[in-house]
């Protein structure tokens, strides 16, 4: 199907369809953290064992996301996206019906199978539906839930656990998935590709690399044993090297090395990884600080972080104008520096200062994060050829998943290091958070240098 055959009505609805998938996935990944103690109590498990419910989902994503482009090309984007939504909804329903941890883990794996296809295939449909000069605006609206989900997750989760039961954190997905399926049946175009040679060996090598790196990230955030972490991490990077060797000799690798000859794609991938290393841990560290250092409830911490979601929506309304005026290189470099400074500013209020002094900083962070994600995601696909769209889009999805994991793990490691240095933090846990924000903010500012590799005219084809 060609983009010219798509009516204006279909083009208006497509970002909404993708938004349903992104919102479910982002909400689900954060809402569960708030509810784990309650679920553990109900299932008669230790809260520490409940980490398996998160790990099983993350590892399923890591294993299957690389194959999303091929599956969409072979069976059609419409069919695959609808099946993915249905699997995610079914997994959510089974999670809510789980009577023990084993059932919950299996249901989370089913959710992961759906989740590994939902967002990449939805975004691939969007990329193929719009000409380059309309794509930024379309992606702009679809990505809003990616900013709102991590902020609303702890708030919604806190209310549901306090006033309903933990089962509702999964049941909330069902009406959203149903809406996505109904809209997809009517409006979603069906794109396929004639090139259907599947690189099984390359997939297995790359999937193993993603799997090992994801395991190492989960261990980094939850284990004190260094040896298994290093083994998983080194093994993951070793598998990436093996994939590189394989892709050099394979005629049709699952992720062609030619992708990295496209400068904007290369900078976009690296920029995403570097910048998210700092940004990704903030939605986790802020609620933790508010609850641990200031002694507030989960609901209060959720409300304090909530303005980030509102300003993110406002950021979406101005980002296109900013990009058209200043270009991608200037915007991304300046915006990354601003985000780094704002993260550092979170260290300014002391323990005796009102917690509400964080609100303006949090609100500004939401606004500039919104601009950052739209700019990074769109420049990554700016110069991809049509025959590289599927593989490039899948690789972007895998990269983002790993970047978020690296960011969260890095933030927790830095926090634990400062927390263990009693003399430095003067027995005040809030100082550990303050120093952590300074380190993460400084790292984010340094990541602005990645975008120096962009040219001033890069992204011209994306301007509306």
Would you list the DSSP string of 172-184?
Answer: THHHHHHHHHHHH
For residues 158 and 166, give the distance between their C-alpha atoms in angstroms, rounded to a whole number: 10
Spatial contact of 212 and 241, defined as CB atoms under 8 Å apart: no
pLDDT of residue 3: 45
Tokens 């490691």 belong to residue: 413
Please report, for the chain, the start and end positions of each structural domain, with discontinuous segments joined by +: 1-196, 199-253, 256-464
Tens-digit pLDDT string for the chain (464 aa) = 444 467 777 778 888 888 888 888 777 766 776 676 678 778 887 765 666 777 788 788 878 888 888 888 888 889 999 999 999 999 999 998 988 888 888 999 999 999 989 888 888 888 888 877 777 777 777 777 666 766 677 677 767 767 777 788 888 889 989 999 999 998 888 888 776 677 788 888 888 888 888 788 777 656 556 777 888 888 989 998 998 899 888 878 888 888 888 888 889 899 988 898 888 888 778 877 887 877 777 677 777 777 887 888 888 778 888 888 888 899 999 999 999 999 999 888 777 777 778 888 988 998 998 889 888 888 888 877 777 777 888 888 888 878 887 887 788 788 888 877 667 766 677 788 888 999 999 999 999 999 999 888 877 767 65
Q: Domain 256-464 in CATH: superfamily? A: MFS general substrate transporter like domains (1.20.1250.20)
User: What angle do the packed helices 101-129 and 77-97 form, to 10 degrees?
Assistant: 160
CATH topology of domain 1-196: Growth Hormone; Chain: A; (1.20.1250)
For residues 454 and 284, give the distance between their C-alpha atoms in angstroms, rounded to a whole number: 31
Beta strands in 257-315 (DSSP E): none
Spatial contact of 311 and 326, defined as CB atoms under 8 Å apart: no
Same fold, 1-196 and 256-464: yes
What's the predicted TM-score (pTM) here? 0.80
Spatial contact of 334 and 364, defined as CB atoms under 8 Å apart: no
For residues 77 and 418, give the distance between their C-alpha atoms in angstroms, rounded to a whole number: 47
For residues 215 and 277, give the distance between their C-alpha atoms in angstroms, rounded to a whole number: 17
Q: Where are the alpha helices (DSSP H) in 346-388?
A: 358-380
């Amino acid at each position: 199907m060609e983009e010219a055959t798509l009516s204006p009505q279909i083009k208006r609805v497509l970002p909404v369809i993708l938004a349903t998938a992104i919102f479910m996935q982002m909400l689900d990944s954060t809402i569960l953290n708030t509810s784990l103690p309650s679920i553990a109590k109900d299932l008669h498990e230790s809260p520490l064992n409940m980490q398996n419910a998160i790990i099983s989902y993350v590892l399923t994503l890591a294993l299957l996301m690389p194959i999303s482009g091929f599956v969409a090309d072979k069976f059609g984007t419409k069919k695959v996206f609808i099946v993915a939504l249905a699997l995610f909804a079914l997994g959510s329903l089974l999670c809510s019906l789980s009577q023990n941890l084993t059932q919950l883990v299996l249901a989370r794996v089913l959710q992961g199978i759906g989740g590994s296809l939902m967002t990449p295939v939805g975004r691939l449909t969007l990329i193929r539906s719009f000409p380059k000069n309309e794509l930024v605006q379309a992606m702009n609206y679809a990505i809003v839930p990616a900013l709102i989900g991590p902020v609303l997750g702890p708030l919604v989760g806190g209310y549901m656990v306090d006033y309903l039961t933990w089962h509702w954190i999964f049941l909330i997905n069902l009406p959203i998935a149903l809406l996505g399926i109904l809209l997809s049946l009517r409006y979603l175009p069906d794109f396929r590709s004639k090139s259907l040679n599947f690189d099984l060996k390359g997939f297995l090598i790359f999937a193993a690399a993603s799997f090992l790196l994801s395991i190492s990230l989960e261990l980094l955030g939850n284990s004190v044993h260094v040896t298994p972490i290093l083994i998983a991490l080194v093994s993951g990077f070793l598998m990436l090297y093996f994939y590189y060797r394989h892709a050099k000799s394979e005629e049709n690798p699952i992720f062609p090395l030619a992708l990295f000859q496209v400068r904007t794609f290369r900078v976009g991938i690296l920029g995403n990884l570097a910048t998210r290393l700092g940004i990704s841990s903030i939605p986790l560290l802020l609620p933790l600080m508010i609850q641990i250092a200031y002694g507030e409830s989960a609901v209060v911490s959720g409300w304090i972080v909530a303005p980030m979601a509102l300003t993110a929506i406002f950021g979406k309304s101005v980002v296109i104008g900013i990009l058209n005026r200043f270009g991608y290189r200037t915007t991304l470099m300046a915006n990354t520096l601003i985000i780094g400074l704002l993260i550092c500013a979170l260290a300014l209020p002391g323990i005796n200062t009102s917690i509400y002094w964080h609100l303006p900083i949090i609100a500004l962070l939401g606004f500039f994060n919104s601009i950052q994600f739209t700019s990074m995601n769109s420049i990554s696909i700016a110069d991809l050829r049509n025959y590289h769209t599927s593989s490039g889009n899948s690789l972007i999805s895998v990269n983002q998943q790993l970047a978020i994991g690296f960011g969260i793990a890095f933030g927790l490691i830095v926090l634990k290091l400062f927390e263990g240095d009693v003399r430095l933090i003067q027995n005040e846990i809030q100082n550990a958070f303050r120093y952590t924000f300074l380190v993460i903010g400084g790292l984010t500012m340094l990541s602005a240098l990645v975008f120096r590799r962009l040219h001033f005219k890069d992204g011209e084809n994306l301007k509306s």
